[in-house]
A and B are shown apart, each in its own frame.
Chain A
Amino acid sequence: MPQPDGSSIVLTTRVQAMLGWVRKNSLWPLPFGTGCCAVEFNSSVSSHYDLARFGAEVVRFSPRQSDMMIVAGTITDKMGPVVKRVYDQMAEPKYVIAMGACACSGGFYRAYHVMQGIDELIPVDVYVAGCPPTPEALIHGILELQEMIQRGKTHHDRLKTQDRKATTALPG
């Protein structure tokens, strides 16, 4: 890294830490908005709260292009297979935020057509409470996720560790 006086210095880091640093600051959200929470998600990316300040403003509706799925709203049994398919289409590494009470646990809809939390279907990294959560709460959730990515604590990282253990434990 060049310095003002013409000399240069070298920063050393681990590959994992650098990857985490890069990944956490360029999250591309996929808003899977179904209900009321989607309106608050819109507020979060609009000018007033400006999610761009945290490097997560490139909203992409295509699962192929995004790495952070924000499930905002109630997921019903009819919608379940769609969530699963969209999640499966995302490329690794991918992260999931469950925004709001419905996505976390079904909320106050303990009913015949409502999924009692999206973790019935897909792994969730961060649960954001609220009905609906304020934009501040969602931004807090994203900051939490960034911290988890940096420290290698996401579901994606856990899966990788499990895989490594499984391969090393193979006989022969």
Chain B
Amino acid sequence: MTDSRHKTEKPQPPFPAELKALGSQILGSEKTGDGHHEMLVDRSRILEVLRTVKEDPAIHCDLLVDICGVDWPDRDDRFEVVYHLAALETGLRLRIRVPLKEEDPTMPSAFGLWKGANWFEREAWDLFGIHFEGHPNLKRLLTHEAFDGHPLRKDYEPGRRCLLTEDEIMTPEWARENPTDNDQFETHILNLGPSHPATHGVLRTVVQLEGEVIRRAECEIGYLHRCFEKMVESQGWNQVIPYTDRLNYCSSMINSVGYALAVEKLLDVEAPPRAQILRLILSEFSRIMDHAVCLGANLVDLGAVTGSRYFFQVREEIYGLLESCSGARLTVSYARIGGLSHDVPENFSSQVRVLLDTIPGFIDDVEKLVTRNTIFRDRTEGVGVISGAEALAWGWTGPCLRASGIPYDVRKASPYLGYENIEFDVPVATTGDCYARYLVRMEEMRQSLHIIRQAIDSIPGGPVMIDDPHIAPPEKSKAYNEMESMIRHFKLLNDGIQVPAGNGYGFTEGANGELGYYLVSNGGGKPYRIKVRPPCFAIYQAYPHLLEGQMVSDAIAILGSLNIIAGELDR
């Protein structure tokens, strides 16, 4: 038990002196425990603070990570808006909390500073009813138009539904009236999705066409809003893991590992080394699966059906490994807070080695078929171009950001699971188009294999679960035969893991970018609030802007290259 509790914090940049004058109350990073500098700011000064944070050269937080609401019905200031910001160069991480009164939950919008604030603020309006003044399009995002109330408020009954009829399906206002230009082609409104073969999930985009060129576009999401954040508030901390697995279902292991790491940060414990390295190996395999699905689907949409079949075979091979470890193919629920649910099978290493030998063959085959294929290059080169600065302004992370030339990777920037001991490259492309995103993903799959190759030789022995009776249930044989173990088992399974009151933000490199969990605990066995920062969410809000001026068939190529997973997008 003593082994498991040791500090893992790496040195943080000091609190910038410029900020001290701004915050009404500064909480140093040593108090937050998750490596973030935290400050409380009054809403009247928030815009000023945010502008300083962004534009002051000494601070320069260029990435708006997340905006979310928290509801505290018992407090004087019922609502709280929480900003997470990051400075990519210095590694500075900042959390700003703004309390709001129940009678007047309004505050200024940050859209003018970071375009990425757009959907995050709309979500906070939808789920909490927090009004952002100056937001260009503040309306419901995840729930439907006929919805009544703000569901993430604590007084909203989790199961209270509002039904939607077909007449109430929303179309953006500009799309209802169809202006025609007599000199030009007739304009035309086209509805892509939500049931459309190329959307791979449930995404809807309304576009205005002039001939075949897209003039205007708007996305409608929320068709897979399964209320993850409300559901988990009634579960124990460990019971959240099956839900996290269904966020990005193409790489569920990464989600649950990211969540477990975030809770472990809050508990200030660390999983045993064996569990860490197994988590790392399975996460990297999941990354390969995710990229394989993304690229495969992208290829199908562009007419290259064969490539996707090769990539689906890669998935099947990896499924075999996951199934032998956890019993499930897709939604594995294998990670636990404090380790893994059980050890891997005896032939794990040999299975991994077989995969390491077979997967490169599939990647090479696709490479030969596609990478220099003229049709594929014509369809993707120069299509959906976004510059690095603009991608960052929208809050992009992950392979899509790296394809625009910014080498930000959480595995390098703030290593976890022992990535600091492993040698690997972060592939970067510069053109920022669909082809660049394809190339980055292809190379990332190779790098993941490279990581696994190093990790597989250094799997230490020992347990896969932390030796802490407050976190890990006792072994079954002991729970059946020893009085004390039985009591502990009973207590742990009835009351759940007790997480001390506080908040923390844990982030890992998901398959699509920075996957963050903002956790709030009020000291009980259940989470008070969990906010997921899904990488897709920030990426997809820029999609309408990528579309403007492109051909309608390019819309499909661009969508495929962004790898939008509806489960994670809508939660």
Contact = CB atoms under 8 A, between A and B. Distances in A.
Nearest to A88: B166
A65 interface: no
Nearest to B169: A81
Nearest to A86: B195
Contact of A36 (B147, B196, B567): B567
Interface string B326-355: 000111000000000000000000000000
Interface stretch (A106-114, A138-146, A163-171): A106-114
Interface stretch (A2-10, A13-21, A72-80): A72-80
Interface in B525-570: 566-567
A53 B330 CA distance: 23
Contact of B195 (A32, A74, A102, A109): A32
B164 A43 contact: no
Nearest to A34: B202
Interface in A65-123: 73-74, 76-82, 84-86, 102, 108-114
A47 interface: yes
A113 B227 contact: yes
B249 A35 contact: yes
Contacts of B162: 77, 112
A131 B315 contact: no
Contacts of B236: none
A126 interface: no
Nearest to B145: A78
B129 interface: no
A46 interface: yes
A78 to B, nearest CB: 4
A160 interface: no
Contacts of A74: 224, 226
- Main DSSP-derived SS at the B contact region: loop
Contacts of B230: 111-112
**Interface residues of B toward A: which range?**
35 or more
Interface in A44-67: 46-48, 61
A138 B309 CA distance: 19
A81 B166 contact: yes
A40 interface: yes
A111 B567 CA distance: 15
Interface string B290-301: 000100000000
B6 interface: no
A39 B195 CA distance: 15
Contact of B197 (A61, A85, A131): A61
Interface string B219-251: 000111111001100000000001100100110
Nearest to B194: A82
A76 B224 contact: yes
Given A48-B313, A74-B224, A33 B201 contact: yes
A110 B159 contact: yes
B143 interface: yes
B151 interface: yes
B165 A35 contact: no
A76 B201 contact: no
A85 B166 contact: yes
Interface string B146-169: 010001000011111111111011
A81 B194 CA distance: 11
Given A81-B168, A108-B231, A111-B227, 13 more contacts: A34-B224, A38-B201, A39-B250, A39-B330, A43-B329, A48-B313, A61-B195, A81-B164, A81-B165, A82-B195, A84-B166, A112-B143, A112-B151
19 contacts: A33-B201, A36-B330, A40-B330, A46-B309, A46-B316, A47-B313, A76-B225, A77-B163, A78-B222, A81-B165, A81-B166, A82-B169, A84-B166, A86-B195, A109-B231, A112-B143, A112-B227, A112-B230, A113-B151
Interface of A: 32-36, 38-40, 42-43, 46-48, 61, 73-74, 76-82, 84-86, 102, 108-114, 131-132, 134
